Structure 1
């Protein structure tokens, strides 16, 4: 059988609510599609890739498969990223790697979109569907910068609107469409002659894609992409660089973890909350130890009174911290000061 190389790549990212949206979308695509369709659906590491491929195959006339490393891309075929693996593309073939997480996901939408932009430029259509948080936004911006087109599901109909809204708020999206119209739109786009790119693919996109292919980069390479900032990588504890290019504020460490500003904010909030719960537990334990000490036989009245004063002070701190945690970390501690 002669391999039919795709004219276009359609790269699709989805998260929460994604499988339902994906089955509706791919059911509209013809078997004669002159494009390869590559999908990242956020999955638990223990998910069954073959089961999900089977679900997609029942809905579409495209040939569906779980992506494998080194596999050639074919028109009229659909490839799903395996659980706990990034799906990347090079010139005409796929790479499946267990590289560092991006936006806390593996597979990550941004990783697929960026590699498609790096190697296929204007012949890429990026699609962001339903999902939570921000994955896909930076990658869609890179597709646009490389000359490709950006399509986003109408957030008003998305089961979870965060991913479409993030893309719309940060990227010059070409088309916003409901799922019922998206299949016809994509079919029309990939039957057009790929538009000539305004120039070559930006070098920062190529470099970042190359770092992801090798799984781990180095400080010299990341320094070419941005400037160091006084933030710590939530994934490995290393230093972060803020990347210079594109419309989306992003950060990357030299081991390969990458974050949008929104994801980094969410991670810092979670880390702060965990730290404060630990502090609350330690205060409670110290309060109980002081109470035990004050009740020991032979403890002088002065010492006992001193311990009870410390217990009362700790109890006040514990109550303030507990209220702060229960009412949200966005509320300043100053607002919990007792009235005088």
Structure 2
């Protein structure tokens, strides 16, 4: 019988310390496979070295189509989604989800589809709510769900969101407590898996850029009045239990919190672009007033109007950057 030895871990801000505490209870002979997504950039190259000092298990970044090996921890490389396949791993530069690549949700959906009840999904410290929808997918396939206690998290947003999404995870504890518990149950036989919902399978394909299209999105939800902030395509609204999510037909996906954050970023960029344009226009008009004395009053009047508008834009930007 297959064992409950497939572990997926997701975290963001504050998760590195939590991962080290989680892994501290695993022994060298442990035959579990750990798949890890931490929101990271290409500059975070020391991540493997740091984690290897925390555990006797072998830590590595996989290559595409690499076969799973017991006793290994596979870390999602920067700018690539890490996905589980049928006893092997995929790396895909699919669309960003919740403003990240790698993202936790695609990994967890792949665990739901290919590991079923063997899968253990773990959410650790981090901002916003990436991983919550994926954790629901694991639960829907008969897998187990584990969440770091928000009181133990340096950044409690993701654990709180995961608890809200699941309702009652299989376990809520500090990072070390979760790791100690999982290091014991990975040797147990897995229960029978449940049938994976079709929407979970479909979204997994989209994450790998295999089946993103307008017809596909229509199967997932209703057309929304919003545009995708990354590609300007229309967004479909997906009701996922307590989670409100959005996805465009090229595959970008957001929870409502991630969409709001991305809209804030795009709005700020638009405001700064407009501020720059107004200042440049005012400067050009003042230059014209010097070169065309007969029209100087006209150009100076218009320059003053652009400068006044620029001051209004500065006020708007300052309000945008003021914490609520």
TM-score when normalising by structure 1 = 0.84
Q: CA deviation at 1:204?
A: 0.8
**Which of the numbers 221, 228, 237 marks the counterpart of 2:232?**
237
Alpha-carbon spacing, 1:205–1:323, altered in 2? closer, same or farther (3 Å): same
* 1:260-307 Cα deviation digits (max 9, x unpaired): 11111111111111111111222223333444455566437xx72x55
Structure 1 residues without counterparts, runs of 5 or longer: 333-340
**Which of the numbers 135, 160, 164 marks the counterpart of 1:169?**
164
Q: Is the 8 A contact 1:109 1:139 kept in 2?
A: yes
- Residue 255 (structure 2) pairs with residue 260 (structure 1): yes
Q: Is the 8 A contact 1:126 1:151 kept in 2?
A: yes
Q: CA deviation at 1:37?
A: 1.0
Q: CA deviation at 1:131?
A: 1.8
Tell me how far apart the structure 1 counterparts of residues 205 and 314 of structure 2 sit (CA, whole Å): 47
Please name the residue that 2:196 is paired with: 201
- Residue 306 (structure 2) pairs with residue 320 (structure 1): no
Tell me how far apart the structure 1 counterparts of residues 294 and 149 of structure 2 sit (CA, whole Å): 70
SS across alignment from 1:249: strand
**Which of the numbers 60, 65, 73 marks the counterpart of 1:70?**
65
- Residue 17 (structure 2) pairs with residue 25 (structure 1): no
**Which of the numbers 13, 18, 29 marks the counterpart of 1:16?**
13
Which of 1 and 2 has greater Rg? Answer: 1
Tell me how far apart the structure 2 counterparts of residues 70 and 278 of structure 1 sit (CA, whole Å): 43
* 1:209-257 Cα deviation digits (max 9, x unpaired): 1233344522222222222223222232222222244432111222222
SS across alignment from 1:38: strand
Please name the residue that 1:338 is paired with: none
SS across alignment from 1:282: helix
SS across alignment from 2:280: helix
Tell me how far apart the structure 2 counterparts of residues 250 and 114 of structure 1 sit (CA, whole Å): 15
Structure 2 residues without counterparts, runs of 5 or longer: none
Q: Is the 8 A contact 2:95 2:209 kept in 1?
A: no
